[in-house]
């Protein structure tokens, strides 16, 4: 059975990935949509007509849930053509004013769970498949007041690039997508209402559907990194040329 797997599919960018995978790959047998909120997954599954969607209710930071996901992969003898590691969250604020638990949970979801889900899924992937890891512009330069979040996204970028080199021998592509701000539930979970951060208010906000559509195309073409929007492509180039000690003054959130 040929499938795609999308984590964080119950809202925002993850939902858009499911819609575009169904549109671009109608030949798939199923799309496995992963998140904790079952009703939201079931609602999405009902909306998608081109490919059957299977709701997999799973907290990807929970070992028992991951073991159940692994069993499902084995029992269904799947061939995973596309893996989208999308689930993630951030928090705005000074490091020492964010709860210890929230900072640790960010590391567990944005770093550890990406590694775990990839480890568990990879044995079910063959050549000509791809992994798309949702990173962020926060990976380009460390961001004060998003200290842990930007560090987790730097992990994803580094992880994606090294894994891409490794998986060339298996002809599996790995692509990191680095979006700027998108108006999704992310912003309220991260405590970023309008006015909370001048940087967030000033930056262009990009549409999740455009990010999903274009990053799927980039990953399928074999690209290793994709940054949507001219403004953020330019920022990425600046971050490579200008010392981070200077860039960090501009990028503080
Ligand atoms: N929005 C932005 O401004 C922005 C910018 C750059 C990068 N990003 C990145 O884009 C990705 C998607 O974020 P979004 O903007 O679409 O935010 P979102 O709407 O809040 O989506 C986050 C998704 O992750 C899922 N999730 C959270 N914890 C989980 C867990 N423990 N196990 C399984 N699923 C979990 C959530 O579902 P449940 O709550 O149902 O589990 C939800 O579906 C994230 O990696 C984020 O860092 C976002």
Q: What residue ranges do the domains of the chain occupy?
A: 2-251
Q: How many helices (H) and strands (E) does the chain have?
A: 11, 7
Mean pLDDT of the residues in the chain: 97
Report the predicted TM-score, pTM, of the whole model to 2 decimal places.
0.98
Cβ atoms of residues 82 and 172 within 8 Å: no
For residue 90, the ligand 1 atom closest to its alpha carbon is: 47
Active site residues: 149
Nearest to 84 by CA among 40, 21, 163, 159: 21
Residue list, ligand 1 pocket, CB within 6 Å = 7-14, 34-37, 40, 59-61, 86-90, 109, 134, 136, 179, 181-182, 184-187, 189
Task: Give φ, ψ of 97 to 5 degrees.
Answer: -110, -5
> Biggest alpha carbon distance in the chain?
52
Nearest to 164 by CA among 178, 154, 176: 176
Cβ atoms of residues 109 and 61 within 8 Å: yes
Q: Tell me the average pLDDT across 153-174.
A: 98
Q: Give the Å distance between the CA of 140 and the centre of ligand 1.
A: 19
> How far, CA to CA in Å, does 30 sit from each of 54, 169, 184, 197, 212?
7, 27, 25, 40, 18
Distance in angstroms (rounded) separating the CA atoms of residues 175 and 191: 28
> With the C-alpha atoms ordered 229, 230, 232, 233, is the resulting torsion angle positive or negative?
positive
Q: Give the Å distance between the CA of 189 and the centre of ligand 1.
A: 9
Query: Are β-strands 173-177 and 225-226 bridged in parallel, bridged antiparallel, or unpaired?
Result: parallel
| Closest CA to ligand 1's atom 17 | 186
Q: Which of 186, 187, 201, 227 to mutate to test ligand 1, by most ligand atoms within 8 A of the CB atom?
A: 186
Distance in angstroms (rounded) separating the CA atoms of residues 153 and 209: 21
Query: Are β-strands 79-85 and 130-134 bridged in parallel, bridged antiparallel, or unpaired?
Result: parallel
Q: Give the Å distance between the CA of 3 and the centre of ligand 1.
A: 21
Report the DSSP beta bridge partners of residue 226. Answer: 177
Give yes or no for residue 63 having a pLDDT over 90.
yes
Distance in angstroms (rounded) separating the CA atoms of residues 9 and 68: 18
pLDDT for residue 252: 82
pLDDT for residue 238: 96
pLDDT for residue 67: 98
Least confident of 116-120, 161-165, 191-195, 219-223: 191-195
Pick the CATH number of 2-251 from 3.40.50.2000, 3.20.20.120, 3.40.50.720, 3.40.50.620: 3.40.50.720
């Amino acid at each position: 059975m040929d499938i795609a797997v999308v984590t964080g599919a119950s809202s925002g960018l993850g939902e858009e990935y499911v819609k575009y995978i169904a549109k671009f790959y109608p030949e798939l047998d199923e799309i496995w949509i992963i998140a904790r909120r079952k009703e939201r997954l079931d609602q999405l599954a009902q909306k998608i007509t081109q490919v059957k969607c299977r709701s997999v209710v799973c907290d990807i930071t929970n070992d028992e849930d991951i073991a159940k996901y692994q069993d499902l992969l084995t029992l269904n003898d799947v061939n995973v053509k596309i893996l989208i590691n999308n689930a993630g969250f951030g928090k705005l604020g000074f490091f020492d004013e964010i709860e210890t638990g929230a900072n640790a949970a960010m590391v567990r979801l944005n770093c550890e769970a990406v590694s775990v889900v990839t480890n568990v899924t990879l044995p079910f992937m063959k050549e000509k498949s791809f992994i798309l890891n949702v990173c962020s512009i926060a990976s380009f330069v460390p961001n004060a007041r998003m200290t842990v979040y930007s560090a987790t996204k730097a992990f994803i970028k580094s992880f994606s690039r090294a894994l891409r080199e490794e998986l060339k021998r298996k002809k599996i592509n790995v692509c990191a997508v680095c979006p700027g701000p998108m108006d999704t539930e992310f912003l309220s979970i991260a405590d970023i209402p309008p006015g909370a951060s001048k940087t967030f208010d000033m930056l262009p906000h990009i549409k999740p559907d455009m990010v999903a559509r274009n990053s799927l195309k980039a990953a399928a073409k074999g690209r290793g990194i994709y940054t949507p929007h001219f403004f953020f492509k330019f920022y990425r180039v600046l971050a490579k040329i200008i010392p981070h000690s200077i860039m960090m003054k501009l990028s503080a959130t």
